[in-house]
Amino acid sequence: MNSLDSGLSSFANSVKGGYTLKLPLRIEVVSFSHKLAGENGCYPFIPPDENTFQYVFDMRLLPNPHTDPDLKDKTGLDGDVQAFVRPSIDPNQWFVMANDINELLGRTARVETDQPAVTIRFCLGCVGGNHRSVAVAQHQFDHLVRAYGAKVESITIRHLALETQGVVEPPDGQPRGFIKAA
């Protein structure tokens, strides 16, 4: 039996047994700005190690709330910006992402308890990192917490462009607008 089959079997057994197996898995959702990526350190892509899977999604194809004068000075944390962006989100894309997460959950289910946690990082970027990437990241984060919150070690969200502007604070020990390598 290969490690994927073993992991999926362990995960399936935990669900069948009527209890939740807390997997050594961390999920990070990160919004960022393509425009600021190089110049201000607002770039989530640290060199991955063997325990980090990183997926990058480009939100620049979605309609831009920045072009609406009523939304320009708001962020993706605001409900009216989320309402502007949400109809453009392709539900099939999230279905694919959910399937990827389910597969990775199976892969990371380990019998050995001394294994380090695996991190899955979803990076969502748009031009300024204020509207589309933030709204979609927040939407995805809320879904992940509902679907996987009890099954994984942690689920976190960061909005790097908003951190560089002082709109939100970075987590303890992390620099503003940048992900520090572990």
pLDDT of residue 111: 41
**Higher model confidence: residue 41 or residue 50?**
50
Percent of the chain past pLDDT 70, that is, above it, reads: 64
pLDDT of residue 25: 80
Host domain of residue 96:
3-8+20-164
The whole-angstrom separation of Cα 172 and Cα 182 is 13
**Higher model confidence: residue 9 or residue 93?**
93
- Kindly tell me if the per-residue pLDDT of 154 is higher than 60: yes
Minimal CA–CA distance to 130: which of 61, 179, 60, 178? 60
Which of helix, strand or coil describes residue 25?
strand
On whether residue 176 sits in a domain, the answer given is no
Backbone φ and ψ for 143, nearest 5 degrees, come out as: -65, -45
On whether residue 182 sits in a domain, the answer given is no
pLDDT of residue 174: 75
Question: pTM of the entire structure?
Answer: 0.75
Task: Give the DSSP letter string of 139-179.
Answer: HHHHHHHHHHTTTEEEEEEEEHHHHHTTSSPPPTT--TTSP
**Residues paired with residue 67 on neighbouring β-strands, in sequence order:** none
The whole-angstrom separation of Cα 89 and Cα 14 is 33
On whether residue 45 sits in a domain, the answer given is yes
- Kindly tell me if the per-residue pLDDT of 140 is higher than 50: yes
What pLDDT, in 10s, does the model give residues 59-116?
Answer: 888 899 999 999 999 999 999 999 998 887 766 665 566 666 666 666 555 444 556 7
pLDDT of residue 3: 37
pLDDT of residue 16: 38
On whether residue 150 sits in a domain, the answer given is yes
Stretch 43-50: mean pLDDT: 62
On whether residue 178 sits in a domain, the answer given is no
Q: Would you call 168 exposed, middle or buried from its count of C-beta atoms within 10 A (0-12, 13-18, 19+)? A: middle
Taking all residues of the chain, what is their mean pLDDT, rounded to a whole number? 74
On whether residue 86 sits in a domain, the answer given is yes
On whether residue 67 sits in a domain, the answer given is yes
CB 162 within 8 A of CB 129: yes
On whether residue 74 sits in a domain, the answer given is yes
Q: How many domains does one find in the chain?
A: 1
Minimal CA–CA distance to 75: which of 153, 178, 160? 160
Give the list of residues 6+ apart from residue 180 with CB closer than 8 angstroms, or none: 46, 173, 174
